[in-house]
Structure 1
């Protein structure tokens, strides 16, 4: 397959006039002029890398913690229509047995891949968080960091855990961070930590922040908090929910400017109501009420999102964040966080042919996943 007459966002994230050819699942060539049997004219379009969502619990009625291969397949098929070509199903703070079942189910889907977005591994959001900042996580399953338990999860699922959350002020956190960071990315999340505790955690192995601003101490002029610690440390990337509801658009502009091109990561953090009409839904065993696309618990606590990566990309461009940074934040930056950037996250010869074709209004015209056309809206 050869894509012609489009602007290609190359591996430096510069838009260039070029043709792109695929062979099997991979990108075979990028050159000014290529010819072959199957040529696709993309005049007026831009080709960017497939989006990578590393924090997504659920969508279209299916949830990672349902431990259902059919549910994960439904998620993968839906996500690819939104330009997501890779994702990490994300668990909640639920019981030990439910986490084990979810991990085993994800592993089964990785071994026998369903149509759509590729599953890259699991993100564990909880249970090792602060009860004081649990947000929409279920309090009865919150616990202190337990390295032995986590190692059992990790080994039991064949090492597919790509990211794990932790509140670093909790008992047992130091040992957990030092050991878990040798296996996967460790993220500061749902935490009551202050600036100094956060900086200490970064010094011993935390390199990621989960849904920046949400469920953590904010930054003021006298108390920098976790947010200030993230801004102040070049070693840490931060994921951000960009639906314009979790974080005000003006704050999003400031945040992306402060983090720069290489430390900002877009995530959906979506729950099962994403892609569904407003109404009553569920997250982590708790009833969620969705109105005007905003998901909340009965007490008003925000409960995940109903957005998707494509909508967030469109939001950020509309809010005034530079297009190059937006695309990097949806592709190569999350790929780096899960250590899969050798294969996904940018357009480069030898990488997977995971591509999204956008028109001038950022509408999705085509999605190519692992070298096959998965969506064709031309």
Structure 2
């Protein structure tokens, strides 16, 4: 396939006039292809005139949508999440757990393994596999374990009774039961055993500081041990103060640390999001949605981690007024960052594509328009920034 006439987001984070080429599921080198007497790509041409051509978005922190949640632990929930995300231009995700019981987490791990193996007749896997071959799904990168190794003091909408001390054995059981599909594990560094946990697992999965009441020094110690990631910066942690900079200050000081940022216009004041790009290099900022099961549905009351959440517009609140999660998909978060917060489109695209892919070590196949990577890309109207088309593995999904 040849995509022509658009402004393509290149590996220097600029928009340039050029054609791109795909062959089956992957991008290929167009210059080499057109020199061949018989082109190595198929002969389909996509007219991208009037559009930006950007990589498919990568959301490493997403809980649910359309009434389903990853913690439902079913193939159907996984399917619904992957189909919805692809329809929004998010072509790769890390479905994210909450702090729920061990039994529920292991059920999620089992469902994940079954998704990749297509081998559980009890859950009508034959029919699921058939639908999977026909439906338009985003890539499932791996699981993001947001719980249960968090601080009770900063639990947010997580369930207090299911919070556990860091447990390497249970983490390894999750890794095994999921078929080695754990991409990221969250932890509060101040909890007993956390530093040993980080030391043990940092070389195997991305370890993220999250839902924590730790101070700057504790956060820095965790980062030195390999926890070079922070979950939804500013939320569920101590504030950034001039004498007590906390996790935010530590993240700014650690040049290897990647930080998640929810730019739905609800979780932070616009000024905070703008100034984050002054405090932390844009190459270390990862846009996420943190979206819950109410995403894509009308206002009303929904469940998240065992708690009732009331949704009105972009706001999802617990009964005490605490922000529970997001009901905005990553594409809309990216556009909010540009149109309402004032960050350049080039920066926003970088933070929603290659940065998240790098943060979970998936950038060898995802996150940029590069020969050899999956042919995941979007066509975006240059004037309105409206999503016009999305391609995943070279196939048009919307």
Matched, 1:65 2:71: yes
Number of matched residues? 375
The residue number in structure 1 matching 2:142 is 121
Query: Which blocks of at least 5 consecutive residues in structure 1 are unaligned?
Result: none
The residue number in structure 2 matching 1:332 is 354
Structure-1 separation of matches of 2:167 and 2:389: 44
Q: 1:204 aligns with which of 225, 240, 243?
A: 225
Structure-1 separation of matches of 2:335 and 2:232: 19
The residue number in structure 2 matching 1:13 is 13
The residue number in structure 2 matching 1:366 is 389
Q: 1:33 to 1:9 in 2, by over 3 A?
A: farther
**Alpha-carbon distance, 1:314 to partner:** 0.7
**Alpha-carbon distance, 1:107 to partner:** 2.4
Deviates more, 1:349-358 or 1:108-117: 108-117
Q: How does 1:318-329 map to 2 (within 5 A)?
A: 318=339, 319-329=341-351
Offset from partner CA, 1:45-79 (integer Å, 9 cap, x none): 11100000000011111100001111211111111
The residue number in structure 2 matching 1:44 is 50
The answer to whether the 8 Å contact 1:237/1:264 transfers is yes
Q: 1:77 aligns with which of 57, 71, 83?
A: 83
**Alpha-carbon distance, 1:31 to partner:** 4.4
Q: 1:243 aligns with which of 260, 264, 270?
A: 264
Q: 1:163 aligns with which of 168, 178, 184?
A: 184
Aligned residue for 2:29, secondary structure, equals strand
**Alpha-carbon distance, 1:292 to partner:** 2.2
Q: 1:211 to 1:41 in 2, by over 3 A?
A: same
The residue number in structure 1 matching 2:93 is 87
Q: Which runs of 4+ in 1 moved over 6 A?
A: none
Aligned residue for 1:252, secondary structure, equals helix
**Alpha-carbon distance, 1:32 to partner:** 11
Aligned residue for 1:262, secondary structure, equals helix
CA RMSD of aligned residues (A): 1.5
The residue number in structure 2 matching 1:29 is 29
Matched, 1:140 2:158: no
Structure-2 separation of matches of 1:331 and 1:40: 22
**Alpha-carbon distance, 1:261 to partner:** 2.1
The answer to whether the 8 Å contact 1:129/1:143 transfers is yes
Offset from partner CA, 1:253-304 (integer Å, 9 cap, x none): 1002322221000000000001110000010111111122311111111111
The residue number in structure 1 matching 2:124 is none
The residue number in structure 1 matching 2:207 is 186
The residue number in structure 1 matching 2:252 is 231
The answer to whether the 8 Å contact 1:49/1:346 transfers is yes
The two structures have a TM-score, normalised by structure 1, of: 0.96
Offset from partner CA, 1:309-358 (integer Å, 9 cap, x none): 11111111111112221111100010011111000001101110000110
Q: 2:333 aligns with which of 287, 312, 326?
A: 312
**Alpha-carbon distance, 1:33 to partner:** 10
The residue number in structure 1 matching 2:281 is 260
Offset from partner CA, 1:164-203 (integer Å, 9 cap, x none): 0000000001110011111100000000100010001101
